[in-house]
Amino acid sequence: MITTAAPAKLSHNEVIKDANPTLAGTIASTLADARADRFSEDDGQFLKFHGIYQQDDRDARKVAKHYMFMVRGRLPGGVVPASQYLVFDHLAEAYGNNTLRITSRQGFQFHGVVKSGLGKLMKGINDALSTTLAACGDVNRNVMAPSTPSTSPLVERVLEDARLLCRSLLPKTRAYHQIWVEGQELDLADKSEKDFVDPLYGKTYLPRKFKTAFAIPPLNDVDIFTNCLGFIAITENDALVGYNLTAGGGLGMSHGNSETFPRIADVVGFFSPEHIEAVAKAVLTIHRDWGDRTNRKHARLKYVLEDRGVEWFREEVARRIGFKLESARPFKFTKQGDLFGWHRQFDGNYFLGLYVETGRIKDTASCQLKSALRKIVEQFRTEVRLTPSQNLILANVSQESRDAITSILAGHGISVENQATVIRRASMACPALPTCGLALAESERVLPDILTRIEALLTELGVGDEEIIIRSTGCPNGCARPYMAEIGFVGKSPNKYQLYLGGNESSTRLNRLYKEIVKTEDIVTELRPLIGRYAQERLAGERFGDWCARMLWKENPPAQS
């Protein structure tokens, strides 16, 4: 007897995408309903494609659910013209919580937006010739690129390709423009809308999110190997000759699920710049066609590479682009992170790197960063660039304007020199509580205090001047890329974290789980013997993460609970 296995059951997200390929859902009608303070669960999934996350204030849950929204902008390479920045600053005050948060993918997030202000915020962003479309959702998201104006035009050349891919990999649905710009429902009586299928993504888009980045060696400031799709610039005589393609990176995982794990990307091969769009679309459509649509926890491109292998993937790319990739060209990354203070650009202008604690642009009693930036951008029309480490650059500043900008910052409690300690400048945190619905523990709100305690420990043990890359997230999805850090904290439950150790300065190596649960109050106690050993056993110039890899990994202690 011949039997046929039943087809695997698709995830709920796949079912609703198939039924609503325009991504419109009932968003417009709910938006117009003043009585509703939230959208349906299905519309909440469609909203992500529009750059919006529906959340609630988790600090207020004991009283009642207070629904609100996080809105994320899509800004290729993190470049923000002065006019757009001033609009964002105003919108954050008028419709958000008066802060702007720099994401780990070089975008802006507006937090604390209530439904009555959501439409006005979204229209304001689009009126400023910016967008939130595809900042989230099962599509290619914001394309990352080096943000620091360099000593050569190469950064600007790579930015051109980042912008190209942001445009060419954008979904084509008209629902976004109709809802947020025109303020209308999509007319599904129109056959072209009713039968809409995205020409690149197809009817059901991708199985999960898709992340793309560019990097220019020796600086790995975008954490290139954590992306689904990556392009490593290869140069000769300071001119771009092509890219090494990387694929299959990604850091998200789920606690207690061994089938999910962080993975660094494979280097697949080399190609010349004119093929950038074809190669990008080939990789994206491999994810579209081969990604797991039955289990969203196993749906990222990294699992396609892990399950099928890089050789299969290389052949599939070649089949889709019509030629074989060349062997990867030599390259070397030496570090990641940002430059701070004043630096000269290749064109004779200057840029200023500014440290932003946990990426949150706000005013406090001691530091009025948001007000200072608004005054500077208004007066000098400076371009703003957002870095992958959640800091900020004021770019294209004339030499004559430097002193005045420095003076404005000083008047708002911000020093251009010695902006923060080496530990803080190398740190990152995700927002976590109270806004993120996935957070299991605090991150942004507790990391500054944790760093203060770690800094005191380092000073006590005689290594206070050593940079250690420390990153924290409130859940295992890893938005602040903790699995690449020298010390990574990953939320497990309230006030409890997994402790990861052993990333490196160039961000080319995953760290490893050292201890399953560490309470917030026990972090320094847990680190004391390790850092004490590091102070005594380190080689000349050896960083803490490299010492962990050399000594702790060799000893291979089991994770403890």
Residue among 17, 74, 209, 360 flagged as catalytic: 209
| Sequence-distant (≥ 6) Cβ neighbours of residue 295 within 8 angstroms | 11
Residue among 101, 141, 385, 543 flagged as catalytic: 141
Instruction: Report DSSP state, residue 5.
Output: P
CA 137 – CA 249 distance, rounded (Å): 18
497 to each of 233, 316, 434, how far by Cα in Å? Answer: 36, 40, 17
367 is catalytic: no
Kindly state the tokens that stand for 389. Answer: 């480490």
Residue among 72, 281, 293, 360 flagged as catalytic: 72
72 is catalytic: yes
Residue among 430, 471, 512, 543 flagged as catalytic: 430
Contact 168, 140 (CB under 8 A): no
Kindly state the tokens that stand for 5. Answer: 């296995």
CA-only gyration radius of the chain, Å: 23
CA 261 – CA 449 distance, rounded (Å): 29
Contact 477, 438 (CB under 8 A): yes
- Give all strands of the β-sheet with 67-72 in edge-to-edge order: 52-56, 67-72, 108-113, 100-102, 360-361
CA 201 – CA 172 distance, rounded (Å): 9
436 is catalytic: yes
141 is catalytic: yes
Kindly state the tokens that stand for 139. Answer: 């599509």
Contact 75, 107 (CB under 8 A): yes
548 is catalytic: no
- Which residues make beta-bridge pairs with 12? none
Backbone angles phi, psi at 214, to 5 degrees: -120, 145
424 is catalytic: no
CA 174 – CA 120 distance, rounded (Å): 19
- Which residues make beta-bridge pairs with 477? none
Kindly state the tokens that stand for 241. Answer: 């000759």
Taking the chain, what is the end-to-end CA distance rounded to the nearest angstrom? 51
List alpha helices for 291-341, DSSP H. Answer: 301-308, 310-321
Residue among 211, 300, 370, 492 flagged as catalytic: 211
DSSP 403-418: HHHHHHHHHTT--SSS
Question: Which contacts (CB < 8 Å, 24+ apart) does range 527-533 have?
Answer: 527/454, 527/457, 527/487, 528/457, 528/461, 530/501, 531/457, 531/458, 531/461, 531/463, 532/461
- Which residues make beta-bridge pairs with 56? 67
- Which residues make beta-bridge pairs with 53? 70
Backbone angles phi, psi at 162, to 5 degrees: -65, -45
> Minimal CA–CA distance to 392: which of 423, 420, 357, 368?
357
- ∠ Cα 125 122 66 (to 5°): 130
| Sequence-distant (≥ 6) Cβ neighbours of residue 459 within 8 angstroms | none
CA 136 – CA 210 distance, rounded (Å): 9
Residue among 281, 475, 492, 512 flagged as catalytic: 475
Catalytic residues: 72, 141, 209, 211, 430, 436, 475, 479
